[in-house]
Amino acid sequence: VRELPGVGRNLIDHPLCSVVWRSKPGVSVMPDPPVQTMLRYTASGGETNDMQIYMVNHFPGREGNFALLVILQRPKSRGRLHFESADHAAQPRIELNFFSDEDGDDVRRLREGLQLSLRMGEHPAIAQYAEGLQAPSAEVLADDDALDAYVRANGSHNFHPVGTAKMGPASDPGAVVDAQCRVHGVEGLRVVDASVMPEIVRANTNLTCIMIGERVAELIRGERA
């Protein structure tokens, strides 16, 4: 048994929130793919491309609406995953801790993204298909404090959890694996998945996970050659 306090810490995901419109009667959509267009941009005060907005042309099982989803690509908040019992069958506790950053920057960037989405939705290219706002209301969208509360209540994850076995030097108490994904202090054990990312990528995580796997496979082949 090796005591590594970083295990389960540093949980990061891409928080998202959305503006949803009701479709006008008679508007039809292509059932597949539901996402065809994406915008990448940098939030105000930022130095990196840290935001995404993409249009969802329908929600399966909830026809009659469409949405612009705002996704925060470089959040500051950190969560954790841990066990509350020694029972091997017990489910872990997952605490995303979204919007827990001290300066409130995560909420602010999503709020501004929702306001940008509203302006985009008012453009004739989109407005021609909308019967009206479904959520949030126009009143909420016009009030920063109310919209911040909406983000906190309705923000969700993007199925991109990373970071709970983060890569770093042995001198870092939060690090779990080294640069070759070998667990510190445990011979013959590696972790090779999204959990080794010390920071979340500013993109969907699938390709990064493939790259991690390919790279470590190459390292192992080299060791055994």
Torsion angle (degrees, nearest 10) of CA 162, 205, 49, 97: -30
Answer for the pair 95, 157: CB distance below 8 angstroms, yes or no: no
Q: Torsion angle of alpha carbons 153, 159, 165, 167, nearest 10°?
A: -110
What are the catalytic residues? 160
- C-alpha distances (whole Å) from 117 to each of 13, 111, 175 are 21, 10, 38
Calpha distance 184→166 (Å, rounded): 11
CB 174, CB 5: distance < 8 Å: yes
The 8-class DSSP code of residue 7 comes to T
Neighbouring CB atoms inside 10 A of 139's CB total 10
